Amino acid sequence: MNSSLPSSQHSSSNTATPVLASRLPAVGTTVFTRMSMLAAQAEAVNLGQGFPDFPCERSLLDAVTDAMQADCNQYPPMTGVPALRQAVAAKIATLYGQQYDANDITITAGATQGLTTAILCCVHPGDEVIVIEPVYDSYVPAITLAGGIAVCVQMEMRAGGYTVPWAKVAAAVTSRTRLIVINTPHNPTGSILRGSDMHALSDLVRGTDILVLSDEVYEHMVFDGQRHESVCRHPELAARAFVVSSFGKTYHVTGWKVGYVAAPPALMAEFRKVHQYNVFSVNTPMQHGIADYMADPQPYLQLPAFYQRKRDLFRNGLAGTRFELLPADGTYFQCVRYDKISAQTEAEFAEWLTTEIKVAAIPVSAFYQQGNESGIVRFCFAKQDATLALALARLATI
């Protein structure tokens, strides 16, 4: 091209944006974003996206403010503030009996970053990763970005509740299986893994090089006297596992996006190689504030009772409706069948609920890679009592 030509004579193609081949061609806007936007437009009660509508404890904010005023505002160590990593290691040891050194803990920019980094550090192109459907929406895109292949095994419905069919998981294992991802308590179903599940998983991976990624962000939301069956309780699994949790979920500060990953030294070394280049470090004063706040274990020890009361309030309110309640053993989610109300697809029914009844929900089919219509939607009950009462009054009109 003649560069001496006036700019007005240059081809307009010079201003065209080059075509970009997407790394995630099948990914669009998440269902949580879409339903939250629809809820806002319809002025609906948002029981779709999983976040509390009540404040955190003021003492936690005070601890963060104190850290800011103490000039804890520069880069922290890449691995996380030592006091916070030590507090996490102490909590895990006390609750689950697994002894991690503070160097085995890395503070992350939320659990999703921890999950993604764990996948990126160990999954190579062509590796297979087994995920359990319905599956939280960040897992498969992270596997795709790593060049891995997601192998989906669907949960089964038994006695009204979701369970993992371990025989089918075992059948999905091949010589290329690198990682198995589990989630307990489970989003979106509200189910939990029990000791028998962990024994089945141990039997499956024993004698192999398969790693485990355990998403335990709802670890402190297990109800009816049942215990959280952390991978950390099982030394054989902990030796090959990345364990992920979330301060945002535990302390009602989801917008802070602070979490952590625990893993044995060899795995953590690889995790940090990726972590240092996709995040490097996490908000300094919040780390100091959370470390100070963790000196008192009562906020997380009381969390099961706190959310069980909300679960029971919500379930009791729905008991007289045409919704069929599914078991809710953990998390702050309640799944319901609606086949006695409508023959619509889950997405259609969720949109109808939002626009006509003014209560937003999430279609469980959105948690399957190929879709799976079972007539079930998910509500979030991490809300103020007044919010739940308003939602229940509206749902009772159906």
| 269 plus 380 within the same structural domain | no
What mean pLDDT, rounded, does the chain reach? 95
- What confidence tens digit (pLDDT) does each residue in 290-300 have? 999 999 999 99
Is residue 219's pLDDT more than 90? yes
| 305 plus 289 within the same structural domain | no
| 323 plus 391 within the same structural domain | yes
If you average pLDDT over residues 268-285, what whole number do you get?
Answer: 97
Distance CA 299, CA 269 (A): 31
| 163 plus 249 within the same structural domain | yes
If you average pLDDT over residues 122-128, what whole number do you get?
Answer: 98
Is residue 8's pLDDT more than 60? no
**In the β-sheet with 105-108, what is the strand arrangement from edge to edge?**
105-108, 259-262, 241-246, 211-215, 177-183, 128-133, 149-154
Strand partners, 388: none
> pTM of this prediction?
0.94
Q: Which of 2-6, 110-114, 210-214, 385-389 has the lowest mean pLDDT?
A: 2-6
Cα→Cα distances 319→184, 310, 324, 397, Å: 26, 14, 8, 13
- What confidence tens digit (pLDDT) does each residue in 317-351 have? 999 899 999 999 999 999 999 999 999 999 999 99
Give me the pLDDT at residue 31, please: 84
Binning pLDDT at 50, 70 and 90, where does residue 141 land? very high
Between 35 and 357, where is the model more confident? 357
Is residue 6's pLDDT more than 60? no
User: Does 147 map to a domain?
Assistant: yes
Distance CA 231, CA 212 (A): 9
Distance CA 37, CA 304 (A): 30
CATH code: domain of residue 391: 3.90.1150.10
| 290 plus 332 within the same structural domain | no
- What confidence tens digit (pLDDT) does each residue in 24-58 have? 998 888 888 899 999 999 999 999 989 999 999 99
Express as a percent the part of the chain with pLDDT over 90.
91
Of 278, 295, 312, the residue that ends a domain is: 295
User: Does 18 map to a domain?
Assistant: no
If you average pLDDT over residues 70-90, what whole number do you get?
Answer: 98
| 343 plus 265 within the same structural domain | no
Of 263, 295, 327, the residue that ends a domain is: 295
Of 295, 322, 350, the residue that ends a domain is: 295
CATH code: domain of residue 151: 3.40.640.10
Give me the pLDDT at residue 159, please: 78
349, 342, 341, 340: which is closest to 379 by C-alpha? 349
Number of domain units in the chain: 2
Give me the pLDDT at residue 387, please: 98
User: Does 193 map to a domain?
Assistant: yes
Give me the pLDDT at residue 95, please: 98
Binning pLDDT at 50, 70 and 90, where does residue 62 land? very high
Between 1 and 388, where is the model more confident? 388
User: Does 150 map to a domain?
Assistant: yes
User: Does 4 map to a domain?
Assistant: no
- What confidence tens digit (pLDDT) does each residue in 370-386 have? 879 999 999 999 999 99
DSSP state of 3: T
Count Cβ atoms below 10 Å from residue 317 Cβ, excluding itself: 17
User: Does 361 map to a domain?
Assistant: yes
Give me the pLDDT at residue 13, please: 61
User: Does 10 map to a domain?
Assistant: no
| 165 plus 311 within the same structural domain | no
| 133 plus 104 within the same structural domain | yes
| 257 plus 307 within the same structural domain | no
Is residue 144 within 8 Å of 131, Cβ to Cβ?
no
Q: What is the DSSP string of 143-175?
A: HHHTT-EEEEEE-EEETTEEE--HHHHHHH--T
| 225 plus 138 within the same structural domain | yes
User: Does 15 map to a domain?
Assistant: no
| 36 plus 161 within the same structural domain | no
Structural domain boundaries, residue 272: 58-295
Length of the chain counted residue by residue = 398
| 181 plus 311 within the same structural domain | no
